[in-house]
Chains A and B, each alone.
Chain A
Amino acid sequence: MSGEEFVPLSLPPLLIGTFAAIACALPGNFLVLRRQALIGDAISHVVLPGIVVAFLLTGAVSTWPMMLGAMGAAVVAVVLIELIRRLGRIEPGAAMGVVFTAMFAGGVLLLEQSDTSSVHLDVQHALYGNLESLIWLDATGWGSLLDTDALRYLPPELPRMGFTLLGVAAFILLFWRPLKISTFDEGFARSVGIPTAALGLALVVVAAIAAVAAFDAVGSIIVIAMFICPPAAARMMTNRLEVQVGWSVVFAAVSAVLGYVLAGYGPLWLGADDAVSAAGMIATVSGVILVLAARFGPCRTRAGAPAEG
């Protein structure tokens, strides 16, 4: 494919998808190790009510209020889950199930009640996102990447996702050591003065930021899939956290690129005319990678790890 077609039509969604996948996979590593994998699931469900409430309050579809609304909903959900878990003495899985389903139901109801049909806001969009539509019409070829005029009309999701990825990566890098210690041994972490509760909340908030930014561009399926599948697959490739995170980034990027390409061109190769959902395909590819790692990964079982150091 020539740059003329690739740069405006495929490059932005590819980059956005890849950034989103990596931004979710990075905190996902810690969530999976902390047995909080389903926090990602909960967050991605409550993003919808957050966005709807923001829309109802501001009366317009504008990015920042909606992002803030989604963030707020994620934090509210995490706090509620924690409250129900502690006050009601309910196991975390059930507490999560209560909170995110109820908030999602509230979101759907608000959405149906309010007049949002005129604007682009519906449940399907929230679930699948619309990666394919994030095109860069002002680009004419590779040269546009240096053309400041054209760059101004990049889809805004691209820089937003890029900055989110930078922020997430910076958080993980900066707090690598306490994150690792408190994930492995919380009691010890507290004894050396690491504020484990605050750090745990910060991790969830960062995951929520990644989820919200990604959700805006690619929908919530990818978010859940990327929180869990790449880190889970990476865990079966290595016994070192540093290496695991590296693998998870690779798997996330491969899922995003391969999923996008398969969704866009796969049906054409099979003789069909129309592309299928890129978000769904990216999730599917990440699942295939997980199956491969679970079947052939060198460290896939607890017992089967190589014996020598």
Chain B
Amino acid sequence: MLELAAREGRATTDADLGKSPFAIRGLTVAYGEKPAVFSVDMTVPEGSMTAIIGPNGAGKSTMLKAALGILRPLSGQVTVFGRPLDEVRDQIAYVPQRASVDWDFPTRVIDVVLMGLYRELGLLGRVRMRHMARAMDCLRRVGMHEFAERQIGQLSGGQQQRVFLARALAEDAELYLLDEPFAGVDAATEKAIIAVLKDLKTAGRTVVAVHHDLSTVRDYFDHVFLLNVRKIAEGPVDEAFTPETLQAAYGGRLAISQHDLFSRNRS
């Protein structure tokens, strides 16, 4: 436990901050007087795949939303490659929770993906063949190209999630922030999404995802960030994703047998 406290106190230098694709300092968000996220620092290494994990109500999504300026934090600063958020929005792609939108909205799959080209198209820019081709390509990467003309309300949950990912791909960003991308999706979708995310990592992009399934953390991610209102631990999976840190984050609520998580002979 002593070691834990010391790790929390580790000071990052300004040089780390400047290089990091996504760094948060002193972020606090409160609903009324109940802090959802309290005084959190986070420094995401470039080219990493980081999972933000923690129990329900730990403030994972809240932290992401506040960092992106979607919620207003009580305090805190966010830098992207050392620069303030508003200067570098075109380097960020955000995938909101699937349940946060009304899927009855009158639009087609391809239109949703084209929304990812908004910064490029601007207010009145015409959608040309190459834009369409790019959007179709993004759909192909998530295996949804045959559904381009579908009304979005007719998709299954997993398909909706893949369309959201395709929209983020269309943004062609350096940093991908995903909020619960695997929540309520089928196994095939989960596999397709993780394949795409690993491709992004291979291409040198940085991926940060709010994640809730502890059993897949080791397979999917190389870095973790444990949150329970406060930061519990942060670092490479081998260092920071340990029985001690999980105990600290989940307390008595850790339902999954730790044997499952840490046994080495898993498929």
Residues in A lying within 8 Å of B, measured CB to CB: 33, 174-175, 177-178, 180-181, 183-185, 187-188, 190-194, 235, 238-241, 243-244, 302, 305, 307, 309
Contacts and interface: CB of A to CB of B under 8 A. Distances in A.
A239 B151 contact: yes
Contacts of B118: 177-178, 181, 192, 194
Nearest to A187: B96
A129 B119 CA distance: 44
B154 A188 contact: no
A188 B94 contact: yes
Given A184-B101, A307-B154, A309-B148, A240 B65 contact: no
A86 to B, nearest CB: 11
Contacts of A177: 118, 121-124
A193 B151 CA distance: 26
A190 B171 CA distance: 14
Contacts of B89: 191-193
Contact of B107 (A191, A194, A240, A307): A240
A200 B167 CA distance: 23
A240 B150 contact: no
30 contacts: A33-B102, A33-B105, A174-B123, A177-B124, A178-B118, A178-B123, A180-B107, A184-B107, A184-B115, A185-B96, A187-B70, A190-B68, A191-B93, A191-B96, A192-B94, A192-B171, A193-B86, A238-B106, A239-B107, A239-B151, A240-B107, A240-B151, A241-B105, A241-B107, A244-B106, A302-B104, A302-B153, A305-B154, A309-B147, A309-B149
The 5 closest A-B pairs by CB, nearest first: A309-B149, A191-B94, A239-B151, A187-B96, A193-B89
Contacts of B119: 192-193
B112 to A, nearest CB: 7
Given A181-B118, A193-B89, A193-B119, A305 B147 contact: no
Given A184-B105, A191-B177, 20 more contacts: A33-B106, A174-B123, A178-B118, A184-B112, A184-B115, A185-B100, A185-B101, A187-B96, A187-B100, A188-B115, A188-B167, A190-B70, A191-B68, A191-B93, A191-B94, A193-B119, A241-B106, A244-B106, A309-B148, A309-B150
Contacts of B94: 187-188, 191-192
Interface in B98-145: 100-102, 104-108, 111-112, 115, 118-119, 121-124
Interface in B146-178: 147-151, 153-154, 167, 171, 177
Contacts of B86: 193
Report whether over half of chain A's contact residues are helix, strand or loop; otherwise say mixed.
helix
Interface size class of B (residues with CB under 8 A): 35 or more
A187 B112 contact: no
Which has the most chain A C-beta neighbours within 10 Å: B69, B93, B147, B154?
Answer: B154
Nearest to B100: A187
B119 to A, nearest CB: 6
Interface in B76-103: 86, 89, 92-94, 96, 100-102
Which has the most chain B C-beta neighbours within 10 Å: A192, A241, A243, A244?
Answer: A192
Nearest to A245: B106
B96 A235 contact: no
A180 B115 CA distance: 9
A190 B70 CA distance: 6
Nearest to A29: B106
B147 A181 contact: no
Contacts of B68: 190-191
Contacts of A183: 105
Contacts of A235: 106
Given A181-B118, A183-B105, A305 B65 contact: no
B115 A181 contact: yes
Contacts of B102: 33, 184
A184 B115 CA distance: 10
Nearest to A235: B106
A37 to B, nearest CB: 14
